[in-house]
Amino acid sequence: MVWYDGLRWSRRHLMSSAVVAAIVASGLVSLHAEHPHAAPRVTSLTNPKVRFRPAEAHHVVLTNGEVTAVIVDNAAVTGGPLKADHRAGYNGVAQLTHRRRPDNIFRAPYAGINYEHIHDGTLAVSREKFEPRVSPMELRIVDRSTVELYQPPTKNWKLESCGRYRLLEDGAIEYTFECIPRARTFRHGFIGLFWASYIDRPEDKAIHFRGRRLETVGAGEWIKWLPPSHGVASTHRPEGSRLPKVVSGFPLTLVNHPSRFVYTSPWYYGVSHGMALAQVFRDRDRIWMAQSPTGGGATNPAWDFQWFVPDYQVNQAYGFVMRVVYVPYKSREQVTRAVRPHLESLNRSPERGDRRESRSR
């Protein structure tokens, strides 16, 4: 059989090369389909129309609705808007507060939506397990509600990237990550990336998501899960996915120890001090949820996620989009209502209209 971008023709029905060329030229079929994780091309890494200015400090304060977020690069930050010092290496949201709770949900001196690991499933990651922490970053201001963390190609993996943090009108954070591999350094043919959010002493360290056990079928039910220890049943797959090849002795244990669960709706939440923190994804991005009961210390769990780019090509741009919804907690149903417009917006088909900011209730 011969395949042309999903159209199957038997050899006895093959058309002439001239006819095939005419079909391709007409746009009816493409011999080079877009990668399923192709970048949305909205950051300054991929879109030359984006205008920005470098931040004068290593942090920027964003406020919208009832939420204030302090975005930091991977340099140390002391004082200013931070209630506690921020440690060098960690990046992303150093502080997230709400009018209903002025304390930071994230554990200082760490961060949330923190770009943590780059790997290919081999022991090459041992050269530097936390390369995003140690490679230089530039904090870029796009507008009053939007900043970016740009990182030139890293020393070992040669991965160039840009993460955009946009605070929407209702206080949700839209995070768009784009990256370009500048060399064929990923030996197993895929790019593996990991983000961590270290939570400050929640009363309950578990996360909640809709899913089912692997051996079952159906739409699933609500699952509350807390791994028994770090690196045990630590990551939850999207439906129909399997972990890519990871070698024995791989040191990033949250990456390669999947649970027996598959999630059936692409979002999860946890509760801390009367507030719900939800992380909402696009189905198409095939994000793996991840967690640790002690990622930030004995009383501080990590509510994380990871992403894999299969069949990557050098100098091609890849990306995903997710949102963080931070609201007072009343009930699971209330959190679901707050998340729903963001879940729908992220997963809206392009034909149904452009992205719109959603309001949480």
pLDDT tens sequence across 61-116 = 999 999 999 999 999 999 999 999 999 999 999 999 999 999 999 999 999 999 99
The whole-angstrom separation of Cα 199 and Cα 296 is 7
pTM: 0.89
**DSSP string computed for 18-58:** HHHHHHHHHTS--SSPPPTTB----STTT-TT---EE-SSS
pLDDT at position 9: 29
Neighbours of 351 (CB within 10 A): 5
* Cα–chain center distance at 300: 20
Exposure pattern of 251-288 as b/e (b: 16+ CB <10 Å)? ebebbbbbbebbbbbbbbbbbbeebbbbbbbbeebbbb
Q: Going by CATH, does the domain composed of 53-352 fall within 2.70.98.90?
A: yes
Measure CA 295 to chain center: 17
Ramachandran angles phi, psi of 131, nearest 5°: -60, -35
Render pLDDT for 270-311 as a digit per residue (tens, 0 to 9).
999 999 999 999 999 999 999 999 999 999 999 999 999 999
Per-residue confidence (pLDDT) for residue 1, from 0 to 100: 27
Q: Outline which parts of the chain fall under CATH 2.70.98.90.
A: 53-352
Among 269, 39, 25, smallest CA distance to 159 is for: 39
Task: Return the pLDDT at 349.
Answer: 77
CA distances to 122, 123, 240, 247, 294 from 197, in Å: 24, 24, 26, 26, 12
| Ranges of residues in the chain whose predicted pLDDT is under 70 | 1-32, 350-361
Strand partners, 147: 141, 165
Query: Which residue has tokens 């440690």?
Result: 87
